[in-house]
Amino acid sequence: MSIGRKIKRLRLEREYSQKDLSKLLNIAYQSVGNYEREERELNYSMLKKYAEIFDVSVDWLMGRTDDRQRHITEEKEIPPEYIELCETLGIDAIRKAKAANMTTEEWEAVIEMAKKIKGGQ
């Protein structure tokens, strides 16, 4: 099932009108219809909002899993090297990275990228 059909089904299950949902999402009600008809593509930020409102996972909305349930994972500790590199580069990304709840592999990729950026300056 497409993202548009899923979000429309979720809206109807909750008996929300497009206007009701648009208020929750803080967008124009026409945008809700555009997303449902897939005339406009949902960005990740909007996908997260839909997932939070309907208590489903972003992965389920995107069709990457059949598990509709949203799983909240505990925050992971931010590696000290990442904090140090961000401070050195003047990047205020710590709050965003913490919210993203990145995996160890993702942290390592960010650290490697930051090292390359730092080396190129």
Condensed to tens digits (0 to 9), the pLDDT of residues 77-106 reads 666 776 676 666 665 555 455 545 666 677
Place of tokens 């960005």: 43
- Collapsing DSSP to helix, strand or coil, 56 comes out as strand
CA dihedral 19, 40, 4, 43 (to 10 degrees): -90
Q: How far apart are CA 106 and CA 104, in angstroms?
A: 5
Q: Where in the chain is the domain with CATH 1.10.260.40?
A: 3-61
pLDDT at 113: 76
CATH topology of domain 3-61: 434 Repressor (Amino-terminal Domain) (1.10.260)
Higher pLDDT, 112 or 82: 112
What pLDDT, in 10s, does the model give residues 12-64?
A: 998 999 999 999 899 998 999 999 999 998 888 888 889 888 888 888 888 88
Question: What pLDDT, on a 0 to 100 scale, did the predictor assign at position 75?
Answer: 47
Structure tokens at 117: 């950026």
- To the question of pTM greater than 0.85 for the whole model, the response is no
- The end-to-end CA distance of the chain, in Å, is 47
Per-chain mean pLDDT for the chain: 77
